[in-house]
Amino acid sequence: MLLNYKDWKVKIDGQLMTVTKNNETREYDLPEYESITVKDEYITIQSKNFYTQFKMEEDSFFVGDKFDNEDDEFIDSVASHVFGEDEEE
């Protein structure tokens, strides 16, 4: 799966998600999943007992959080990065 949102490029190939923005690329390992939903700046990866939601925010900030399926309770942060930040220094 390949998607573009504004200046973001995201490729999901099996359990690997590759995110590119501002000439920087990062890779994220994904858990086994049942489905992927994309809506605007949100990518939701649905697994058996939890889901992971990634957001492509303004100012090149990429964030990913893991939530429990049953009560939507926050479990853990799995991604937090500002793309291109190191180039600005």
Strand segments (E) across 1-89: 2-5, 8-13, 16-21, 24-29, 35-39, 42-46, 50-56, 61-68, 74-82
User: How many C-beta neighbours within 10 Å does residue 21 have?
Assistant: 21
Query: Per-residue pLDDT for 87 more than 90?
Result: no
Q: What is the pLDDT of residues 38-48, one digit of tens each?
A: 999 999 999 99
Q: Is the pLDDT of residue 17 over 50?
A: yes
User: Residue 88 pLDDT more than 70?
Assistant: no
CA 43 centroid distance within chain: 6
Model confidence band, residue 15 (pLDDT cutoffs 50, 70, 90): very high
Whether the predicted pLDDT of 84 surpasses 70: yes
pTM above 0.85, yes or no: yes
For residue 70, which amino acid is it? E
- Closest C-alpha to 24, from 56, 60, 70: 60
